[in-house]
Amino acid sequence: MAVCSPGDEVIIPAPYWVSYPEMARLADATPVILPTHISENFLMDPKILESTITEKSRLLILCSPSNPTGSVYPKNLLEEIAQIVAKHPRLLVLSDEMYEHIIYSPATHTNFASLPGMWERTLTVNGFSKAFAMTGWRLGYLAGPKHFIAACGKIQSQFTSGASSIS
């Protein structure tokens, strides 16, 4: 809601966590589903990403480790994706890293915002529900450039007001 205008496109690799397309619709944006295949471990093909991006593309949602596929994006693939994002100045990345700590060797987690040039373009979302089995606490967090976080804070303060005092 803080970054999308009506008509903006939100690119969502499938299979996806069920809430993403509805979140886009709640922001009056259009979900654009990008298929992935089991033969590629459900990882996005950068060429297909490139051909999916239009002038209206505003947000790419990445989820690694992924719910529901369990796939973990290797760093070199994220670097390829970052190079594509860098070519499209209006495109932001929402990197959902909720499952960061539920990962098995030899896979390793890469924070998308840590890649060259991506801090300014990335909103990292994370929380305590999965890694610490704290779902009921309703506590998550967002990291990114201050102007985006300030905009998100304005919206959230009218939606949920904030975390409960116990959390």
Ligand X SMILES: Cc1ncc(COP(=O)(O)O)c(C=O)c1O
Give me the residues that bind ligand X (CB under 6 A), please.
Answer: 17, 63, 67, 96, 98, 127, 129, 135, 140
Least CB distance to ligand X at residue 87 (A): 27
Among the listed residues 137, 123, 129, 64, the one whose alpha carbon sits nearest the alpha carbon of residue 94: 123
Please say which residue, 57 or 66, places its beta carbon nearer to ligand X: 66
Least CB distance to ligand X at residue 4 (A): 18
C-alpha triplet 74, 14, 141: angle, nearest 5°? 65
Least CB distance to ligand X at residue 117 (A): 25
Contact 78, 114 (CB under 8 A): no
Residue nearest to ligand X (CB): 129
Please say which residue, 17 or 119, places its beta carbon nearer to ligand X: 17
Cα dihedral sign, 152-154-157-162: positive
Contact 113, 95 (CB under 8 A): yes
Please say which residue, 86 or 142, places its beta carbon nearer to ligand X: 142
Please say which residue, 7 or 162, places its beta carbon nearer to ligand X: 162
Among the listed residues 93, 105, 91, the one whose alpha carbon sits nearest the alpha carbon of residue 55: 91
Least CB distance to ligand X at residue 56 (A): 24
